[in-house]
């Protein structure tokens, strides 16, 4: 894993990295090439640290501070010696010992700011727009009617229902009247009752619609329109609704409808939304429509937002509008509100990620506003009133040119800057060393750390005894580590890249190391062993199983369920069955009666890690 700051200052290339199990009596070498990419000679500090690993740095001069000429490649070898069974970590930190010239001055507060920054700050403010698309048309539910019209519609509906019921029992009349005609009358009747103010009868008719989805939507549309007539009664109706999500949604819709109708009611309506995420989104939808002419409403609604960062963004959007007409007093009011939010928030941490976060950026911007709209002295007091010394110093430094002046005095200092930070995890083993184990490691053999630490709680074991043009260790070890983090049932692996077609010498190495790492008495009785190999590209990710195992059909079903749409799953009964690699397996860990399955994957899996991981998950 790698992280870096100003990575262009130096390049670090790994030309050699051990894919084998690290054991004490062989040379486990990592070779690095290091180049100073600056256009001048510079000082750097190299730090090589090991966890459960001893590190010898060659040449020794790179184990500390060193001066490097530009574009002059240097080779560094790291010899690793393991100290435990399991795994170790190599950590590489590179610091640029940057020589910084700076002016030391006697500090004083400016009488006026050095330059205006408000317009630039506000130009970068991301405008919060509504994400809600509302196709609702209130006019579609508003009709002119009277009691006579309602009685006429009810009579027409009753007649139609009687004919429809007769039609259902009489095949001769089938098809003369359809349910859509009846639904249309129910809707007309509901709209009429809505027009006369009888909301309960309107809702009662809405619930008689034949289609559930249409019934629900029409029901809530009636409530929404009725809010224009009688908000209090509408709210009481909404409070009695069982569907919490729909209840909150219709409240949000009514709140938006009331922006132009009665803006003083909007905050009350929004406060009734019980789901915080829906309430926050409703507030964004509302304020995006009234930044320009509803200052008090936007301010009141912002206090109701539960997400402090979102609350601040709303206030910055409001300041952006206020700045167009230079309403500085109101802007300063908002600045104080934002400062109060940040200082008292349990959600925000301005020091997070070395101050590289939005909360700190907003905090810094508010100090700029104070300096410009009030005066630099007030901004300085605001900084000094911050209790956190680290934050105080950071703000003073970042806003130095805006607020302060200094008397010249040239000085230099060394400023170490992390420009490369990397770590690598490697499998290690120091117990029961033997000639066979040495041969195993020298050939590139490796095994998972759970086996090395005698943790045998895995259900699946992958064995790879075939030599390829590349090492599968990084790929398999990555999947192993990911599954260790996310699954209860882990896997294990054993890699021995045979180069002599599993001759007797190699078979001896395999059998003895398998017995050493995977003692039969410690393995689970339901262990599944997959004898893994890879074949070239087939145009589509392909899995080939070959085995007489009784559980092969079950395994295939699980795999097809997991990745069947993305890969071809085959069972072979000829070419891929048997093989010399099965013998050392059967003679060692297979002796316990575990299921042994030949498994062949096409190279496509090596180019799609997520698919490979899904496949491994389906086996475990």
Q: Where are the alpha helices (DSSP H) in 288-373?
A: 295-303, 308-324, 328-344, 358-373
Same domain flag for 440 and 540: yes
pTM: 0.50
Do 117 and 381 contact (CB within 8 A), yes or no? no
Same domain flag for 384 and 514: no
Do 173 and 166 contact (CB within 8 A), yes or no? yes
Same domain flag for 453 and 597: yes
The pLDDT value given to residue 2:
45
* Host H or E run for residue 88: strand 86-103
Do 451 and 494 contact (CB within 8 A), yes or no? yes
List Cβ<8 Å contacts ≥24 apart for 301-308: 301/266, 301/267, 301/270, 302/337, 304/267, 304/270, 304/271, 304/279, 305/279, 305/280, 306/276, 306/279, 306/280, 307/280, 307/347, 308/341, 308/342, 308/345, 308/347, 308/348
| CATH number of the structural domain spanning residue 96 | 2.60.40.10
Q: Tell me the per-residue pLDDT of 548-596, one tens digit each, with 9 for 90 and over.
A: 788 899 999 999 999 989 999 999 876 555 555 666 677 777 656 678 8
Q: Within a domain: residue 82?
A: yes
| CATH number of the structural domain spanning residue 555 | 3.40.630
- Residue-range definition of the domain harbouring residue 386: 119-128+290-405
Same domain flag for 466 and 600: yes
Q: Within a domain: residue 609?
A: yes
Q: Which pairing describes strands 491-495 and 460-464: parallel, antiparallel, or unpaired?
A: parallel
Q: What six digits make up the tokens of 588?
A: 């060692």
Same domain flag for 470 and 586: yes
Q: What six digits make up the tokens of 396?
A: 């003073």
Closest by Cα among 256, 304, 257, 251 to 276: 304
Same domain flag for 442 and 573: yes
Q: Tell me the per-residue pLDDT of 492-523, one tens digit each, with 9 for 90 and over.
A: 999 999 999 888 999 999 999 999 999 988 88
Residue 175 φ/ψ region, left for φ over 0, alpha for ψ in the -120 to 50 degree band, beta for the rest: left
Same domain flag for 323 and 352: yes
- CA pair distance 415, 266, nearest whole angstrom: 54
Mark which of 388, 423, 458 sits at the end of a domain: 423
Torsion of CA 534, 535, 536, 542, to 10 degrees: -90
Same domain flag for 28 and 58: yes
The domain total for the chain is 3
Same domain flag for 390 and 508: no
Residue 59, preceding peptide bond in cis (omega within 30° of 0): yes
Same domain flag for 566 and 510: yes
Q: Within a domain: residue 381?
A: yes
Same domain flag for 469 and 346: no
Mark which of 423, 457, 485 sits at the end of a domain: 423
The pLDDT value given to residue 4:
45
Q: Which parts of the chain register pLDDT below 70?
A: 1-7, 105, 131, 133-135, 171-175, 407, 487-489, 574-584, 590-593
Q: Within a domain: residue 267?
A: no
State how far the alpha carbon of 352 is from the alpha carbons of 301, 337, 348, 387, 421, in Å.
28, 22, 9, 16, 19
Same domain flag for 385 and 513: no
- CA pair distance 140, 154, nearest whole angstrom: 20
Q: Within a domain: residue 490?
A: yes
Mark which of 394, 423, 452 sits at the end of a domain: 423
């Amino acid at each position: 894993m790698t992280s870096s700051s100003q990575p262009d200052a130096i390049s670090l290339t790994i030309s050699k990295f051990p894919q084998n199990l690290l054991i004490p009596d062989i040379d486990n070498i990592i070779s690095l090439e290091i180049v100073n990419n600056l256009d001048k000679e510079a000082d750097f500090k190299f730090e090589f640290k090991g966890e459960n690993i001893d590190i010898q740095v060659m040449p020794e001069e790179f184990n500390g501070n060193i001066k490097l000429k530009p574009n002059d490649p240097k080779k560094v070898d790291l010899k690793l010696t393991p100290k435990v069974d399991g795994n170790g970590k190599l950590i590489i930190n590179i610091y640029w010992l940057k020589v910084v010239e700076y002016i030391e001055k006697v500090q004083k507060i400016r009488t006026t700011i050095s330059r205006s920054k408000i317009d630039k700050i506000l130009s970068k403010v991301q405008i919060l727009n509504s994400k809600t698309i509302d196709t609702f048309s209130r006019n579609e539910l508003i009709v002119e009617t009277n009691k006579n019209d309602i009685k006429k519609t009810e009579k027409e509906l009753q007649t139609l229902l009687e004919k429809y019921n007769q039609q259902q029992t009489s095949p001769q009349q089938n098809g003369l009247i359809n349910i859509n005609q009846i639904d249309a009358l129910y809707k007309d009747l509901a709209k009429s009752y809505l027009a006369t103010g009888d909301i309960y009868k309107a809702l009662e008719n809405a619930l008689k619609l034949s289609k559930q989805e249409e019934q629900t939507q029409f029901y809530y549309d009636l409530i929404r329109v009725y809010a224009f007539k009688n908000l209090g009664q509408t709210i009481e109706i909404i409070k009695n609704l069982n569907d919490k999500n729909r209840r909150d949604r219709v409240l949000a819709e009514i709140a938006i409808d009331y922006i132009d109708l009665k803006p003083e009611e909007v905050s009350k309506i929004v406060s009734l939304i019980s789901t915080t995420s829906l309430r926050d989104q409703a507030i964004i939808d509302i304020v995006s429509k009234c930044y320009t002419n509803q200052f008090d409403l936007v301010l009141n609604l912002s206090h109701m937002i539960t997400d402090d960062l979102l609350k601040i963004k709303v206030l910055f959007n409001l300041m952006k509008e206020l700045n167009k007409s230079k309403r500085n007093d109101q802007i300063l009011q908002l600045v104080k509100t934002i400062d109060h939010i940040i200082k008292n928030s349990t959600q925000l941490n301005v020091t997070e990620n070395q101050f590289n976060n939005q909360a700190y950026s907003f905090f810094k911007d508010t100090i700029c506003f104070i300096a410009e709209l009030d005066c630099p002295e007030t901004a300085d007091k605001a900084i000094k009133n911050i209790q956190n010394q680290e934050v105080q110093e950071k703000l003073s430094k970042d806003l130095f040119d805006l607020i302060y002046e200094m008397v010249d005095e040239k000085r230099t200092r060394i400023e170490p800057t992390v420009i490369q930070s990397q770590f690598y995890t490697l499998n290690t083993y120091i117990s029961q060393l033997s000639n066979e184990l040495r041969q195993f490691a020298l050939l590139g053999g490796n095994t998972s750390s759970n086996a090395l630490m005698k943790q045998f709680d895995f259900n699946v074991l992958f064995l790879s005894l075939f030599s390829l043009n590349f090492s599968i260790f990084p790929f398999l070890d990555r999947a192993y580590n990911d599954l260790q983090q996310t699954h209860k049932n882990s896997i294990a692996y054993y890699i021995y890249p045979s180069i002599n077609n599993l001759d007797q010498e190699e078979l001896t190495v395999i059998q003895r190391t398998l017995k050493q790492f995977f003692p039969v008495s410690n393995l689970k009785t339901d262990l599944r062993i997959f004898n893994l190999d890879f074949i070239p590209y087939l145009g589509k990710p392909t899995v080939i199983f070959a085995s007489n195992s009784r559980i092969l059909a079950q395994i295939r079903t699980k795999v097809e369920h997991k990745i069947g749409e993305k890969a071809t799953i085959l069972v072979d009964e000829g070419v891929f069955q048997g093989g010399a690699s099965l013998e050392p397996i059967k003679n060692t860990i297979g002796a316990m009666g575990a299921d042994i399955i030949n498994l062949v994957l096409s190279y496509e899996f090596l180019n799609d890690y997520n698919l490979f991981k899904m496949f491994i998950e389906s086996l475990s």
